[in-house]
Structure 1
């Protein structure tokens, strides 16, 4: 029988990552809850806010959030009832629809971001020097691109809908 090394650095790395993620989400939740947003609500509206024209195809939003098609539909339905997002039909492809951030959604984000950014700074980014943070972000993107290759789906602007032409304009880089 072989003896397993339970002190393997790979186990330590994933354990630390899991602990950090859990701890950060616990720290962030009070500010999000005070703004009436769940974790997935916030992820959805911030992704819309950071996307070209502050909208994403529903399929791209599902890919970015790793929700199923029905899961993203439920989230968008709830956010639409609250007036934070709206659905937009694609004029050239009746099969495609978009989720778009509304003015109320932008205002909700603007109300929560100061506290959320303070929490991020105090418990995460502010603990690292500039070079450490730059290196850490580069490492995270490298890993993200392997484990969630669709995390930036829709990040390039397409005019007006996919399939309408070859012109693509790169959107600003996003984490």
Structure 2
């Protein structure tokens, strides 16, 4: 009998599933003239309001070096504007413009329907269980390199 390590199989399945979901998101938002990163930033600003540009990268899982470029593109499209912080000159906020809000009011419900289709084969309790189990895997992966401080910093990634 050949022993198959289920943990290694789980990694492969997880990565393939994540890639497939990411591809579904890319296809969906491409119809609105956006890439997945731009949509992620718009979605963050739509649901959480203005954000310090420096903090956006951690929240939408993109490299901090890319944030300025993405915000520039969204600003050029008229969806985002920058606002200087009055208390701290080092901080600049990104926030949705009226056009950005209007866009998200129009496209977010459609995006939500597309994501519902991605998870259509799971019951609501199965989705909740999936979320809980993926969080556990994520926390363990963070701990596996012994970087306890990094675990605490990045715990919000899975919130």
State the TM bucket, normalised to the shorter chain: 0.7 to 0.9
The equivalences for 1:113-128 within 5 A come to 113-124=108-119, 126-128=120-122
Per chain length, whose mean CA-contact separation is higher, i.e. which structure has more relative contact order (CA < 8 Å, sep 6+)?
A: 1
Give the structure-2-normalised TM-score: 0.80
The worse-fitting range, judged by mean Cα deviation, of 78-87 and 110-119 is 110-119
**Where do 5+ consecutive residues of structure 1 fail to align?**
154-173
Higher helix share: 2
How do 1:1-175 and structure 2 match up within 5 A?
7-51=4-48, 54-124=49-119, 126-144=120-138, 147=142, 149-150=153-154, 152=156
Residue 62 of structure 1, CA deviation:
1.8
Shift, 1:65, TM fit:
2.6
SS where residue 93 of structure 2 aligns? Answer: strand
- Give the drift of 1:10: 1.6
Query: Structure 2: where are the runs of 5+ without partners?
Result: 143-150
TM-align CA RMSD:
2.5
1:87 aligns to what SS in structure 2? Answer: strand
TM-score scaled by structure 1?
0.73
